[in-house]
Chain A
Amino acid sequence: MSKILVIAEHLDGKLNSSTARAVSAAVAVKGAAIDVLVLADNVDAIAAEAAKIDGVSRVLTVARAENAHPLAAVLAPQIAKAAAGYSHVFVPSTTFGKDVAPRVAALLGVAQVSDVMSVETAHTFKRPIYAGNAIITVEADASHTVVATIRSASWPAAGAIASSAPVEALTIDAALPTHTRFVELKQGSSDRPDLQSASKVVSGGRGVGSKENFDIIFKFADRIGAAVGASRAAVDAGYVPSDLQVGQTGKIIAPELYMAIGISGAIQHLTGIKDAGTIVAINKDGEAPIFEIADFGLVGDLFKIIPELEQALS
């Protein structure tokens, strides 16, 4: 039988929804027992949240001051030790998981399956390559631990239950390196919904033209309660910070509604939004590739259309 260890992702004492998505992937491995591992300085609140995820048998915690920030070099040896006896280690495919999981795999001497989109059997998975232009089926060696990162956009968050799974503290005897130190995290402080879990996202591209002009995107997003995203060109041009980039090398998202405004629709951008429910494109160029995949397309000047949309809403 499969025993799966899911590594919890969290920030500021709160569980990230990517964890419940990784649990969904673990549930897709038939008959698996699923434990969630929380590594933090203060584990209690995070563990309590994890214990309420449907499908979780146990929550294991390692509370150490060194775990205050997610440094891969510090976390990986602990995860590798905790993985003993597990057939699988699943980690969200976010920058957190992408950083730490390969380090765990290498310590265990095993390969890693990146960006799992679907679970076929306990050792067979589907994952995207070439910016999502091909989907491969990969088979992992059944005699090894499977280390995999889970592509959040492919999995719904497992629901919350009323009861709680038991929480157990683990003592892990691992020497932790001091060669890597956290200095600071500069967060784009925002009251807006989180880009990765929002049900609606409004994104702006190079067509928006400047940092000042981007206000029109922010205002419209606020109007409909959406998170804000951007193309690489918009980020490179300094209109918005890098954590708003959507695409192959930015965030892969799956909102119910995605509105691409002044974005041409390069394959690297489309990779990030393939799983969106409904895609709306607004672009002044009727030939822009974004219209090939948009459910609703509107040709025109965004600076004229957005005010019209706001008006139509009121």
Chain B
Amino acid sequence: MKILVGYKRVVDYNVRIQVKPDGSGVVTDGVKLSANPFDDIALEEALRLREKGVAEEVIVVGIGPTDLTAHLRNGLAMGANRAIHVVTGDAVQPLTAARVFLKLIEKEQPELVILGKQAIDDDANQTGQMLAALWDRPQATFASKVEIADGKATVTREVDAGLEVIEAELPAVITTDLRLNEPRFIKLPDIMKAKSKPIDTIELGSLGVEAHDHLKTTHYAAPAKRSKGVMVKDAAELVAALKQKGLL
């Protein structure tokens, strides 16, 4: 079986995001970019399925500007067999990303698509669900455990009430939660090996998908700041302060 993995590049999670003073965006010049942590988890899961013999081929997909190549090489170094780079200079909103994935599915016929549950830049948490709807296939979001057998995926999902288990017939879309696995580190020899692995480049326009701005962002603002409070000297003073505020 073939697995398609979403592999998005985002601002690294350690970067403290600054909003530009004129409200036109956030400062992204010169900041460190990394794979979306949820996508590293998605790729790791796909690789483990290949190592178990459940899958034969793992393909990482990136949708973004021309300089995405180095990022996709990381996915290949981690172990993906090949990469598909859908090239666009425009920001890609989830519905567009889902339409792109659907086109790639038609071409590649994977039995499993694994995406991150959310990208940590836009935090939209939409693409996998939208893709499953357009594809008219099952979705198993927020996965913390995946088992594939007999043409179906049994997935444990992290939901507000606890852990939900569902069964999804393949092909299906899975989106990853943090505790699904711990992604491996990339080793130097793998980076060398990755250089010879293929990256297919496709112009977004040639897929018949338009990078629509379905939603327009008109302003960026810094969040309201919480001001630093007071330090208390001991437990008794803390209890007194909270009682005075009517909180205890």
Q: Pick the residue among B172, B218, B247 that contacts A137 (CB under 8 A).
A: B218
Cα distance A180–B179 when bound, in Å? 22
Which residues of B lie under 8 Å from residue A274 when comparing CB positions?
Answer: 223, 226
Nearest chain A residue, comparing its CB with the CB of B226: A293
Q: Which residue of B lies closest to A180 (CB)?
A: B138
Supposing A200-B247, A243-B158 touch, asked if A295 and B229 sit within 8 A by C-beta, the answer is yes
Residues in chain A near residue B216, CB distance under 8 A: 138-139
Q: How many residues of B contact A (CB 8 A)?
A: 81
A73 touches B228 (CB 8 A): no
The interface residues of chain A lying within 8 Å CB-to-CB of B98 are: 106
- Per the bound structure, the CA–CA distance linking A111 and B154 in Å amounts to 29
Query: In whole angstroms, how far apart are the Cα atoms of A101 and B141 in the complex?
Result: 12
Tell me if B159 and A96 are in contact (CB < 8 A): yes
Contacts of B234 in A (CB 8 A): 298, 300, 308
Contact A279 B167 (CB under 8 A): no
- Segment among B80-88, B124-132, B185-193 that sits at the interface with chain A: B124-132
**Quick check: B123 and A11 within 8 Å, CB to CB?**
no
Q: Is A102 part of the binding interface, using a Cβ–Cβ cutoff of 8 Å?
A: yes
| B160 and A224 contact, CB distance less than 8 A | no
Q: Is the CB of B118 within 8 A of A249?
A: yes
A241 within 8 A of B: yes
Closest to A126 in B: B221
| In-complex Cβ contact of A308 among B121, B178, B236 (8 A) | B236
Tell me the number of A-to-B contacts counted with CB atoms below 8 Å: 257
* CB proximity of A190 to chain B, nearest CB, Å: 10
Minimum CB–CB distance from A239 to chain B (whole Å) comes to 13
Q: Are the C-beta atoms of B158 and A112 separated by less than 8 Å?
A: no
Contact B160 A196 (CB under 8 A): yes
Residues 168-192 of B, flagged 1 when their CB comes within 8 A of A and 0 if not, give 1100100001110000000000000
Q: Are A138 and B218 in contact (CB under 8 A)?
A: yes
Are A102 and B125 CB-contacts (below 8 A) given A136-B219, A139-B216?
yes
Asked if B118 and A185 make an inter-chain contact with CB atoms under 8 angstroms apart, the answer reads: no
User: Contacts A134-B19, A186-B163, A248-B120 known; A99 to B247 CB distance under 8 Å?
Assistant: no
CB-contact partner of B133 in A102, A180, A305, under 8 A: A102
Assuming the contacts A95-B159, A135-B221, A296-B241, asked whether A103 and B139 have C-beta atoms less than 8 A apart, the reply is: yes
Name the residue of chain A whose CB is nearest to the CB of B128.
A102
- Stretch from B1-9, B10-18, B65-73, B103-111 at the A interface: B10-18
CB of B222 within 8 Å of the partner chain: yes
Q: Please name all residues of chain B whose beta carbon is closer than 8 Å to the beta carbon of A156 when the two chains form the complex.
A: none
A15 adjacent to chain B (CB < 8 Å)? no
How distant is the Cα of A113 from the Cα of B216 in the complex, in angstroms? 11
Q: A96-B159, A106-B129, A313-B248 are in contact. Are A130 and B222 (CB under 8 A)?
A: no
C-alpha gap A146/B76 in the complex (Å) = 39
Contact of A298 among B127, B136, B235 (CB under 8 A): B235
* Residue contact B221 to A278, C-beta cutoff 8 Å: no
The answer to whether A207 has its CB under 8 Å from any CB of chain B is no
A216 interface residue, CB < 8 Å from B?
Answer: no
**CB within 8 Å of B: which of A282-301?**
291-300
Does A193 make an interface contact (CB < 8 A)? Answer: no
The interface residues of chain A lying within 8 Å CB-to-CB of B158 are: 95, 242-243
Among A73, A113, A114, max chain B CB count under 10 A is at: A73
A32 within 8 A of B: no
Which residues of the other chain, A, contact B130 by a CB distance below 8 angstroms?
102-103, 105-106, 112
Q: How far is the CB of B237 from chain A (nearest CB, A)?
A: 8
What residues make up the interface of B, taking CB atoms closer than 8 Å to A? 11, 13, 16-17, 19, 26, 93-95, 98, 117-118, 120-134, 136-142, 144, 154, 157-169, 172, 177-179, 214-223, 226, 228-236, 238-242, 245, 247-248
- A99-B142, A106-B95, A183-B167 known; 8 other A-B pairs, CB under 8 Å? A72-B139, A95-B158, A95-B159, A102-B129, A135-B222, A136-B220, A309-B238, A313-B239
| 6 pairs of residues in contact across A and B, judged by CB atoms under 8 Å | A76-B133, A106-B130, A133-B16, A136-B220, A139-B218, A249-B118
A contact residues vs B (CB 8 Å cutoff): 11, 71-73, 76, 94-96, 98-107, 109-115, 124, 128-141, 177, 179-188, 196, 200, 224, 232, 235-236, 241-243, 248-249, 251, 256-257, 267-268, 274, 277-280, 291-300, 305, 308-309, 311-313
Top 6 A-B pairs, shortest CB-CB distance: A111-B214, A308-B235, A295-B229, A102-B129, A106-B133, A106-B130
